[in-house]
Amino acid sequence: MRRLRILALGAVLGALALCASAVGAAVGPRTITVNGIGIVTSVPNQADFTFGVSTNRGTAADALTANARQMTKVIGVLKTLGLADRSIQTAQISLSPNMNRAGTAVVSYTATNSVTARTTNISTSGKIIDGVVRAGANLVGGPSLTASDQQTLSRKALRAAIADARARARVIAAAAHVTLGRVRSVTEAGQGPITSSPVAAKSFAAAPVAAGTIQTEVDVTVTFDIG
């Protein structure tokens, strides 16, 4: 009987040891995870536009011919205003029939041609808009104001986001009375939208365009070891 009790006690102690080992393995390293935001403000130095010509004629051939004639004038004006060939690109060409009210016959055709154009001198944007409209453009989109060194700005914002995450982690660690350790993992949440903050507009030949500022935002999630 005594031997059986000793064996039973040994089995219980062994089971407790195994449980303690399993619990210790399940706990794993102690960490804290924080989010960091990096924002870099800059002044845009280029503007992107979309200019198009929509032409309606009785036949498909006439619609395309008239449209091509007007778009040639628009592109010519863009070049006259200082835009380089590499800054002008055809975006879309389309031809579609227009039906009568009953939908039983084609009454005319609409040809549309659009180009994208980029100027590195935002102060000429108004003159560009005025010039292409006078040349026959009846579709205008933009401007989209951006910075030519966007990759550099994104990297600056990323560094700022990491620094912000570390600062947040230090505050949390101090409040929790733990020691902040090494970085265990970093995840970039992606670049946020570039927002425009206009300043007072200047008057040009036609539409006023203000450069203002743009913001490049990057968000990260960082996990730190704590002791």
Instruction: Identify whether the C-beta of residue 212 lies closer than 8 Å to the C-beta of residue 195.
Output: no
Predicted local distance difference test score (pLDDT) of residue 17 = 44
pTM attached to this predicted model: 0.66
Identity of the residue numbered 69: R
pLDDT tens for 120-139 read 999 889 999 999 999 999 99
Q: What is the pLDDT of residue 180?
A: 93
β-bridge partners, 114? 52, 92
Range with lowest mean pLDDT among 105-109, 165-169, 186-190: 186-190
37-46, 57-66, 206-215: segment of lowest average pLDDT: 206-215
Residue 174 has pLDDT above 60, yes or no: yes
Residue 14: the pLDDT is: 45
Taking the alpha carbons at both ends of the chain, their separation in whole angstroms is: 49
The DSSP H or E segment spanning 10 is helix 2-27
The pLDDT score that the predictor gives to residue 23 is 43
Which two tokens mark 154?
């994104």
For 55, phi then psi, to 5°, come to -125, 135
Enumerate domains of the chain plus CATH numbers. 28-43+150-226 (3.30.110.170), 46-146 (3.30.70.2970)
Q: DSSP class of residue 85?
A: G
